[in-house]
Amino acid sequence: MPDAPQTPPPPGLERSPAGRALKDAALAALLTFGLSIPIIALRTDQDFNNQLILTTRWDLVAVLCAVVFVLRLAWGLIPAGTGAATARSARLLPRFNDRQVEVLKWAGLALLVAYPLLALALTGRSGSIKWIDNFGIQILIYVMLAWGLNIVVGLAGLLDLGYVAFYAVGAYSTALLAKTFGLSFWICLPLAGIMAAFWGILLGFPVLRLRGDYLAIVTLAFGEIIRLVLINWVDFTGGYAGISGIPRPTFFGIPFNASPNGFAAVFGLEFTPIYRTIFLFYVILALALLTNWATIRLRRLPLGRAWEALREDEIACRSLGIDTVKTKLAAFSIGAMFGGFAGAFFATRQGFISPESFIFMESAIILSIVVLGGMGSQVGVAIAAVAMIGGTELLRELAWLKQVFGNEFDPAQYRMLVFGLAMVVIMIWRPRGLIATRAPSIYLKERKAISSDLVKEGAG
Amino acid sequence: MAVPASMPSPLLTIEHLSMRFGGLIAVNDLSFTAHRGQITALIGPNGAGKTTVFNCITGFYKPTAGRILLTHGSPPPADSLRALMGTGRREIRYTGGSAYLLERMPDHDITARARVARTFQNIRLFAGMTVLENLLVAQHNTLMRASGFSIRGLLGTAGYRAAETRAVDKARGWLERIGLIDRADDPAGDLPYGDQRRLEIARAMCTNPVLLCLDEPAAGLNPRESAELGTLLRSIRTEDETSILLIEHDMSVVMEISDHVIVLEYGVGIADGTPEEIRNDPKVIAAYLGVEDDEVAEAEAEAGL
C-alpha cells in the first residue's frame, strides 16, 4: 500500500485530530485496496482464440486508493461539530410565510403550464421535442410515481419495494383493453387505476401483517412475480416481445395525425408531431397534479392522519379503535391506483410496452426519489425527481466530455455511479431527505414545522 | 330495570379469566367486577399479571380461558346472555342496553364498538404529530364516518367540515381541561413527561369510552402532579360518566381515589374490596411487605392459606 504510512504515527500525533484523520484515511485506503483487488486489479478478457486471459490494472488501483486517501483525509480534517452539525441544522429552503408560499405555488404552476410553449418558442419545433418529452414528460412520470409511492412509504410508513408492479399493471391493462376492446385512452385510464388498486388490495391482504424488512421482501417478490408473469404468459401479454401499436391518445376524439380530421387540420394548423407531445405533457401534468392534490387533501382527512399515526405507533392506533388492516389496505390501494394511472399514461405515450420497462431498478429509483426527497414531503419528492431523472437526462447532454476522455467515454453509463454518490452525500448531509421536517395537518394558532428527530419512519 | 343508587350496576364482569404463555400461567382463574361510575384499582406486586389482565380486556391478548363481559346500559337479561354465549356472536342488543364479549373481539373493535379505551405503561403518543393531531386521531371513527370514508372529505362537503369543527372543539375542550391549550400546535414528543401522561389520558377520552383503562398513570409523576392526576380522574368519573379501571403502584393515589380495589399476586386474585378493607387485609400486607420466616405459618393461618 504505497499511500498508507507504514510506521505508526508518533505518540504525540495519535490524539490530535490530524493524526486521527491520517489514521482514518490510511485505513480507508487500505480497505479500498483490499476491495479493489478482485473487482478492479484483476480483469479477465477473451483473446482471439476465445481463451481467457488475465490482465492486471494496478495503476488504476493505485489511483483509486490515492483518491480515497485524499478524500477521507479532507473529510477528517474538517473540524467536527462545525461541518456536520451546522449542515444538518441548516435549512434547505428559506423560511416563507403562508402568503409567500401561496405566491410561489401559483408561480411554479404557471411556469409548468407555460413550459412546453416556452420550450417551443426558445428551441423551435424539432429542438423542443427533446425538452418537452425527455425532460418534461419523463420527469413528470417519475414525479407522479414518487408521489404515489410517497403515500405508501412516506405517509403510512410501509416499505414497498415492488411499486413498479402497479405501474406495470396499469400499463398492461391499458394496452390490452385498448388493443382487445378498442377502448380509448380516456376510458382505459380509470380502468387501469381500478385494476392497479385491485391488485394493491390483493397483495395487501396476505402481506400487511408483516412488518419492516419482511414486508419489503414480500413486496419485492410481488414486483418480480408480476414481471415474470408478463414475460411467460406469452399468449396474453406477448412475452418479451411486449405489446406494440397501442392507440395514442386523442384530443377529445380528434386524433393527432396528418389526416383531414386530425388535430392540426381541424384547428387550421400546419401538421407537426409536436402537438401530440405538448398534449401528452399537459395530460401527465394534470395527472401528477391530481396525485398531489389528492395526497394533500387526504393528509388533512382522518384517513391520512390515521396513516401518519400508523407510521408513528401502530399499537397506539389499535388502542384508539383504528382498524389498521383497512387503513393499510387503503394506503396500498390508493398508492397503487396512482401507479396504475402513471402506467396507463406510459403505455399510451410509448405506444409500445414490454416487461423490460418494469424491472426492479424502476422500483428502486422511485423509492430512492422518495427517500432523497424526504419521506412524506411533496415538495421534497418533486425536487428529488427533477434532480434524479433530469440529472440522468442531462448526462446524455454531456457529449462534449468525449473530447476530454476520448471517444469511448459515454457519460450516460455513469448514471448509477452518480445516483449512488448522490445517495451517499444526501444520507450524510441530510439523513432524513431534502425536506425532513413534517408540516402538521391542522393547527389551532400557528403552524410549526416538526423536526425530523421526533417523526418516525415507520416499521412496516 | 331500575338500579338503586347505592347498588352500582356492573359494567365489566370478568369470570374465570386465565392467560397462559407456554408453561407460564400469568393469570389464573381471575374473577372480578368493575362497576359503573366507579374507579376500580388493580394492584399487586411486580409481575403479578396486572398488565396481562389489561391486555386481555383491551384485546391485545386473547385469553386462554374465561369470559370478559362488558355492558352498556342495564345488565343483560338471562335469555339475551344465553343467546350471546350460545352462538359465536360478539355482541347483542336488548331493550335497555347492549352486551359485548370482549374476548371475542379484535382490539380496535373493543375501542370502537364496546367503547373501552386504554393508556400504556410506557407512554405511546404519536410523538411526531402535534398535540391537537393526537386528539384528532383518537376521533378517527367518528370523523371517518363524517368524511364518507374520505369521499365526502375529499370534496370538502359542509357536513364533513362541521364534523371536523366539532372534533377540534372537543379536542380544545380537553386541552383546556388538562392545561395544554397553549401547546396544542407543538409536537407531542416535545412535552414534558407529566404532560405526556395527561395527554395520553385525554387522547383515550376522545374515543368516548364507557370504561377507561389506565396502566400506571402516576408512574414518574411528582407528588403535585399525582394530586392533579387524582383530580382529573375523579372529574372523568363524575363529569364524563366514564368508569375507570387502573393499575397503579402509588398507594397514595390508589387509596385516595379508588372506590374499589382488587389485589393480584402471582396471577391470582387475593383480595377484593373497598380501599379501607384492602388496607387492613393480612393477605395483602403479606403479599406487599412479606413476613419474617418464623411468622410465615402464623401469617398463613391468619390469611387462611
Rounded to the nearest integer, the mean pLDDT of chain A is: 83
The verdict on B88 and B218 lying in the same domain is yes
Residue A117 CA to residue A113 CA, distance in Å, equals 8
The verdict on B15 and B110 lying in the same domain is yes
The verdict on B203 and B214 lying in the same domain is no
- Length, in residues, of chain A: 460
At A82, the pLDDT band (50, 70, 90 cuts) reads very low
Last residue of one domain, picked from the residues B189, B207, B225:
B207
Q: What's the structural domain count of chain B? A: 2
The verdict on B143 and B31 lying in the same domain is no
Residue A300 CA to residue B129 CA, distance in Å, equals 12
Give chain B positions within 8 Å (CB) of A454: 127-128, 187, 189-190
The verdict on B187 and B199 lying in the same domain is yes
Q: Is B264 helix (H, G, I), strand (E, B) or coil?
A: strand
Q: Which of A290, A299, A444 to mutate to test the interface with B (most CBs of B within 10 A)?
A: A444
Cell digits of residue A181: 376492446
The domain limits of chain A are 11-78, 137-371
The verdict on B87 and B172 lying in the same domain is no
Residue B13 CA to residue B305 CA, distance in Å, equals 26
Instruction: Quote the pLDDT of residue A177.
Output: 92
Instruction: Quote the pLDDT of residue B132.
Output: 94
The verdict on B103 and B137 lying in the same domain is no
pTM of the model: 0.84
Looking at this protein, which amino acid is placed at residue A69?
Answer: F
Does residue B4 form part of some domain? no
The verdict on B196 and B225 lying in the same domain is no
pLDDT in tens, A18-40: 888 888 889 999 999 998 888 88
The verdict on B155 and B249 lying in the same domain is no
**Shortest CA gap B281–chain A (Å):** 35
Whether the predicted pLDDT of A118 surpasses 70: yes
Q: Which domain holds residue B49?
A: 10-115+210-303
Nearest CB partner across the interface for A444, out of B127, B184, B203: B184
Last residue of one domain, picked from the residues B154, B186, B207:
B207
Say if residues B277 and B56 touch (Cβ distance below 8 Å): no
Instruction: Quote the pLDDT of residue A40.
Output: 80
Instruction: Quote the pLDDT of residue A336.
Output: 94
pLDDT in tens, A404-422: 766 777 777 777 777 788 7
Which ipTM was obtained for this model?
A: 0.87
DSSP state of B128: T
3-state SS of chain A is: CCCCCCCCCCHHHHCCHHHHHHHHHHHHHHHHHHHHHHHHHEEEEECCCCCEEEEECHHHHHHHHHHHHHHHHHHHHCCCCCHHHHHHHCCCCCCCCHHHHHHHHHHHHHHHHHHHHHHHHHHHHHHHHHHHHHHHHHHHHHHHHHHHHHHHHHHCCCCCCCCHHHHHHHHHHHHHHHHHHCCCHHHHHHHHHHHHHHHHHHHHHHHCCCCHHHHHHHHHHHHHHHHHHHHHCHHHHCHHHCEECCCCCCECCECCCCCCCCHHHHCCCCCCCHHHHHHHHHHHHHHHHHHHHHHHHHHCCHHHHHHHHHHHCHHHHHHCCCCHHHHHHHHHHHHHHHHHHHHHHHHHHHCEECHHHHCHHHHHHHHHHHHHHCCCCHHHHHHHHHHHHHHHHHHHCCCCHHHHHCCCCCHHHHHHHHHHHHHHHHHHHCCCCCCCCECCCCCCCCCCCECCCCCCCCCC
Which of A36-45, A354-363, B290-299 has the highest mean predicted lDDT (pLDDT)?
A: A354-363
**Shortest CA gap B139–chain A (Å):** 8
The verdict on B36 and B98 lying in the same domain is yes
Residue A277 CA to residue A283 CA, distance in Å, equals 10
Whether the predicted pLDDT of A427 surpasses 60: yes
- Per-window interface: B 5-34 vs A, CB < 8 A: none
The verdict on B247 and B107 lying in the same domain is yes
Give chain B positions within 8 Å (CB) of A306: 137, 140, 144
Cβ–Cβ gap B126/A316 under 8 Å: yes
- Per-window interface: B 122-141 vs A, CB < 8 A: 124-130, 132-133, 136-141
Q: What is the average per-residue pLDDT within B47-67?
A: 91
The verdict on B229 and B275 lying in the same domain is yes
Does residue B294 form part of some domain? yes
Whether the predicted pLDDT of B163 surpasses 60: yes
- Indicate if the alpha-carbon torsion angle A260, A262, A264, A270 is positive or negative: negative
Cβ–Cβ gap B144/A447 under 8 Å: no
Residue B60 CA to residue B47 CA, distance in Å, equals 18
A325: nearest CA partner in chain B = B108
Does residue B120 form part of some domain? no
Whether the predicted pLDDT of B83 surpasses 70: yes
Cell digits of residue A279: 398534449
Last residue of one domain, picked from the residues B207, B230, B247:
B207
Helix axes A138-150, A378-385, angle to 10 degrees: 150
| CATH number of the domain bearing residue B64 | 3.40.50.300
B154: nearest CA partner in chain A = A297
Nearest CB partner across the interface for B185, out of A308, A313, A440: A440
pLDDT in tens, A211-249: 778 888 989 999 999 999 999 998 888 888 888 888 888
